[in-house]
Structure 1
Amino acid sequence: MKTKLFLLIAFFHFTNNLTAQSKLSEIDKLASTAKVWGFLKYYHPQVAQGKFNWDNELLKILPKVEQSKNKEELSLIYLNWINSLGEIKKCNSCHNNHSNYFDKNFDLSWIQNSNSFTKEVSLVLENIEKNRYVGKKPYYAQASKIGNISITNEPEYKNKEYLKNVNYRYLSLFKYWNIIEYYFPYKYMTDQKWSDVLIEMIPKFKDATNEETYHLAIQETSAKINDSHTPLMVLNGVVEHLNGGDKTAPVRLTVLNDNVIVTRFYNDSLAKKNDLKIGDTIIKVEDETTQDIIKRMETFVPASNKNRTKFYTQQILLREYKDSLKIAYVRKGEIYEKYVQLYSSKEINFKIPEPLTKKFKILNDNIGYINMGGIRIYEVKEMMKELMNCKAIIFDLRYRPHGTYRYISKYLNSNRTEFAKLLVPDVSYPGRYTWKQTKYTGVGKNNEDYYKGKVILLVHGKTQSHSEYSTMALQTAPNSITIGTQTSGADGNVSRFNFLGGFKTVISGIGVFYPDNTETQRNGIKIDVKVVPTFAGIVAGRDEILEKAIEIINK
């Protein structure tokens, strides 16, 4: 009798465990659906050609997913869905893989997850991978000539469907998540594992039932790719603490070692009226410490590194949609509190910089100086002719250049030198990337009369994208020295697309690496001499990076 009782208890324990193992949470079901939907979108031969309204397919299947009670029921839904999409024909060219794949981003291991799928589903998905769509023009993602993808044929949803139906919000999240999953070259460098981002954001999109919470959800999601190319997407007045506002204090701020310092006046008389002085250190805004504000902004600001987050924060810290802000600040060791008035752009009357009449010049001690933001291609020849006899030339890349790096490098190099290698997505095998070099990844030509003096490159936190790429090119000069602070860490051509609702976003669409495989993304470009501006230097209005350059030249 005892033996029978023991066997009966063991049977119920086994069956209960079996049921528990196959049961899935709501988030688990939605996450697996997001992955299956995105995989089929880019891999399935019929879907990838655009033969289905794929958004609508997701909207139709989500109620069924919600009603499923366990892995077996959910897997049956997936199997019926996939079977309805048409035959998977054998792909004879799918096995012609590149030998130089970069696979740090590639991960289809979730297909074999036995906690989410039955063996039948895993086998079907595996078969689709082996016989995927390999046409030259996928319907949803096409490669540009340079190599970054263009997201195509995506509806805009301008009627705010995302506020009326939670499944449209899931659609918004799933679209973005899968674009990053398969076409963001730096996915492997994000702070948070990308599959974990999906799990975290599903409940946030579920609860995003109004304009502000939806905007916060899409902004937080985009910030998680840690890419300075990505902009803020909020609308004016909707999420005020993200985009600042339409009024600002009449001063410019700089964040230095987490201290927020007044470094310039936008309008001298208005700054004087508010008793603001160069060197004032803002420690609180509306009773919140500036350190806490910077920390809070990290959740929503898309930035490749912390320096870029601070740069954005200093731009919006004293902006709002009201007439004044309460601040606390330190001046000469004493703490003060006050309300500062905020002004519109018209009231401040921002000074328009005078036209750059001298784009290059010769400084004392026969040192050439070039503002890279002022020089155009047609001016390079005359400029270099005038500066070739200088003992050193300073190229200031703190100003965005205009495609001149290839033309300037002809004067700086004795032969052609490769300075970069590119990583581009393979649209025939989504999630995989190949190395690429073009005429734009090398500079210089055979030139015995190349410039033999010191080449000094100045950079800082606003040096981004084309500025970073140009710096890499000029670093090939034999006597180059790069001086400054960490650059933005967002390099390569961009890909543009929208979240549901027409909210435009951008990602770095190409990976840019040094020839030795060092990443520029997030890290910024290589710096030989690091110069961090000081409080005293900022208050005095000194250009400490330029000063260091001149010091090194004259050693």
Structure 2
Amino acid sequence: MKRFLLLLVLVFAGTQQNFAQEKLSETQKLEALAKVWGFLKYYHPEVAKGSFDWDNELIEKINAAEKAGDKAQFNKMISDWIDSLGKVDVCKKCSKKDDKKYFLKNFDLSWTDDTWIFDQKVIEKLNFIEENRNQGDNHYITVGRSSVANYKNENTSNPEFISKGNTLLELFRYWNFVEYFFPYKYQTDQKWSDVLTEMIPKFSSVKNTQELHLNVLELVTKTDDSHSYFSSKETNSFFGLKMLPVHYKFIDGQLIIVEIARDFHSQTQLKKNDIILKINNQKVSELFNQSKKYLPASNTSVKERNFVYYKIPTRSNDESLNVQILRDGKTIDLDEKTYPFNDIRFSQNKNKQEWKMLSDQTAYVDMGILEKDNVEKMFAEIKDSKAIIFDIRNYPKGTIPKISSYLFTKRLDAVSFTSANFNYPGKYDYMQTEKYGHNNNSSYKGKIVVLVNEITQSHAEYTAMILDALENTTIIGSQTSGADGNINDFEILGNPTRFSCLGTFYPDGTETQRIGIVPDIIIKPTGEGIKNDKDEVLERALEFIETGK
């Protein structure tokens, strides 16, 4: 009797499992459809020619997927769709073996063999297309200078919410851009396929244009890339089109006011060095945590930077904000008027020097304003110093090739890159390691100190990497942006967006994305230093030059 009952249980369990396998959820069907659509777009030779209205094909298949009642019907729809695209010829070039080494951390087409979703017929068709994939020209993407991708023939000009179909189209379009052409997909906090699973219900239930744009901004943020960006009038309106007339720093969870906008001193009760504790009864830390999902960044330091840069905590569409501050040890509540962005201006330091001597022995170079044409003159004046401080807490003007010729005694490996392989999307090629400098027996012999922080991004990080190739370089400061290399600029919903497109590494393969340029001596500004107008990072550099510690 016990055997009979056990047999019934096993049969029932097996039947339930088979039934579960035959039923696919709406999200499962749409997720599979998104992947197949993107795969065919870049891999199928006829689709890659631009022979089809590929966006419209997706809209039609979204409707068909909704009507597919089970796994069999869904797979028949996919199989018939693939057949309708035309014959795929055998690609002899694709099967040709070579000794080329690829960077494969980003490459994953394992989903094409998922028997939970696809039947054997569809799996075989997808695998055949991979093995005989499109080569060369693609209607939807080309490679430009320095391996920057051009997402051409993409119809992304309509920013309005129209239907579920058009919202999912934008999700699937962007998701596949990242899937095949974002070099750091493997480094995102959330697995990229899980991002698709999470975002499908959100995009499917969009009710208006602003909600659609916020979903896109959240999606862009999930790349965990400081180069990533998306902005529109809808997202700006969400955060607020007015702001308080103050500039501040975000230090240890506190907003410390460092400047009152020009011509606004008499129109606000706020003062320099006030610490903002709450806005409309919300702690600053709470405001930061709420906004994080809308702040694309490689690391927390850059999220904090952008929280301040975009004035998130002090923006509003209201006429005023209630602000709780700490001033001279006392907590004060103030009602403060907000003003349109365009009415607010902050002072600009126009007295900066490209370089100067801080002492008889130490030179200081502001890399954010140093011009290429002035590098020769600069070294003529500072060549006898015992140390040079290169401040890269800014964005340099492409001066590093000239600078390196004065610093390097020989050519040195400085930076390595990977770039997308457009004949096998998802795979990346190793590029030749870049060397800098040349044989120069009269090169500068003193100490090199490089200052960095969260503003040090992209070309600034690249510059720091080159200087770091020298044995006598010491990097001082805090975590950099962690987004090096070139970027892809394109549009989504008719608005600009971007992400990194080159993988950037030290010559030994050490990664820089999200990590940044790691300082030898770590120091960050403090609240007290900000209040007293101290540059604590520069002070630490001078201490190191003086003591060697």
Short-chain TM bin: over 0.9
* Alignment check: 8 A CA contact 2:269 2:334 kept: no
* 1:266 CA displacement: 2.5
* Alignment check: 8 A CA contact 1:68 1:74 kept: yes
Q: Cα–Cα, structure 1 residues 4 and 280, in superposed 2: closer, same or farther, change >3 Å?
A: closer
1:234 aligns with 2:226: no
Residue of structure 2 equivalent to 1:49: 49
Residue of structure 2 equivalent to 1:167: 165
1:284 aligns with 2:285: no
Residue of structure 1 equivalent to 2:517: 525
Deviations, residues 50-92 of structure 1 (Å, cap 9, x unaligned): 1211111111211111111111111111110001111111111
2:317 to 309, 317, 321: 321
Using the alignment, how far apart are the partners of 2:4 and 2:221 within structure 1?
60
* Alignment check: 8 A CA contact 2:27 2:200 kept: yes
Mean Cα deviation higher: 464-473 or 321-330:
321-330
Using the alignment, how far apart are the partners of 1:147 and 1:352 within structure 2?
36
Using the alignment, how far apart are the partners of 1:392 and 1:13 within structure 2?
75
Matches within 5 A, 1:119-518: 119-135=120-136, 137-158=137-158, 160=160, 163-235=161-233, 239-241=237-239, 244-245=240-241, 247-267=242-262, 270-271=264-265, 273-315=267-309, 316=311, 317-344=313-340, 347-354=343-350, 356=352, 358-437=353-432, 441-499=434-492, 501-518=493-510
Q: Give unmatched runs, 5+ long, in structure 1.
A: none
Residue of structure 1 equivalent to 2:535: 543
* Alignment check: 8 A CA contact 2:254 2:276 kept: yes
Q: Cα–Cα, structure 1 residues 406 and 20, in superposed 2: closer, same or farther, change >3 Å?
A: same
Using the alignment, how far apart are the partners of 1:184 and 1:339 within structure 2?
45
Amino acid at match of 1:434: D
Using the alignment, how far apart are the partners of 1:67 and 1:308 within structure 2?
44
* 1:14 CA displacement: 4.4
* Alignment check: 8 A CA contact 1:370 1:395 kept: yes
* Alignment check: 8 A CA contact 2:260 2:346 kept: no
* 1:262 CA displacement: 1.3
* 1:334 CA displacement: 2.5
Using the alignment, how far apart are the partners of 1:117 and 1:443 within structure 2?
51
Deviations, residues 378-398 of structure 1 (Å, cap 9, x unaligned): 111111111110111111111
Amino acid at match of 1:429: Y
Using the alignment, how far apart are the partners of 2:221 and 2:342 within structure 1?
32
* Alignment check: 8 A CA contact 2:322 2:336 kept: yes
> 1:506 aligns to what SS in structure 2?
strand
What root-mean-square deviation, in Å, do the aligned CA atoms of Structure 1 and Structure 2 show? Answer: 2.2
* 1:493 CA displacement: 0.6
Residue of structure 2 equivalent to 1:58: 58
Q: Give unmatched runs, 5+ long, in structure 2.
A: none
Using the alignment, how far apart are the partners of 1:348 and 1:5 within structure 2?
78
Amino acid at match of 1:26: E
* 1:289 CA displacement: 1.3
Quote the sequence identity (%).
38
Mean Cα deviation higher: 172-181 or 545-554:
545-554
* Alignment check: 8 A CA contact 2:480 2:516 kept: yes
Q: Cα–Cα, structure 1 residues 6 and 339, in superposed 2: closer, same or farther, change >3 Å?
A: closer
Count residues with an aligned counterpart.
Answer: 544
Using the alignment, how far apart are the partners of 1:364 and 1:6 within structure 2?
88
* Alignment check: 8 A CA contact 1:215 1:239 kept: no
Deviations, residues 493-545 of structure 1 (Å, cap 9, x unaligned): 1001222x202210001111111212111111121111111111110001111
Residue of structure 2 equivalent to 1:82: 82
Using the alignment, how far apart are the partners of 2:164 and 2:341 within structure 1?
39
Amino acid at match of 1:321: N
Q: Cα–Cα, structure 1 residues 311 and 13, in superposed 2: closer, same or farther, change >3 Å?
A: closer
Matches within 5 A, 1:3-18: 14-18=14-18
| TM-score, structure 1 as length reference | 0.93
> 1:164 aligns to what SS in structure 2?
coil
> 1:339 aligns to what SS in structure 2?
strand
> 1:200 aligns to what SS in structure 2?
helix
> 1:299 aligns to what SS in structure 2?
helix
Using the alignment, how far apart are the partners of 2:38 and 2:329 within structure 1?
57
Deviations, residues 408-454 of structure 1 (Å, cap 9, x unaligned): 0011110011111001000000000011126xx22100000110001
Deviations, residues 483-502 of structure 1 (Å, cap 9, x unaligned): 11111111111001222x20
Amino acid at match of 1:529: I
Q: Cα–Cα, structure 1 residues 23 and 345, in superposed 2: closer, same or farther, change >3 Å?
A: closer
> 1:551 aligns to what SS in structure 2?
helix
Amino acid at match of 2:375: V
Using the alignment, how far apart are the partners of 1:511 and 1:6 within structure 2?
56
Using the alignment, how far apart are the partners of 1:3 and 1:265 within structure 2?
82
Using the alignment, how far apart are the partners of 1:23 and 1:395 within structure 2?
62
Residue of structure 2 equivalent to 1:103: 104
| TM-score, structure 2 as length reference | 0.94
* Alignment check: 8 A CA contact 2:324 2:334 kept: yes
* 1:185 CA displacement: 0.2
* Alignment check: 8 A CA contact 1:211 1:238 kept: no
Deviations, residues 175-198 of structure 1 (Å, cap 9, x unaligned): 000110011000011010000000
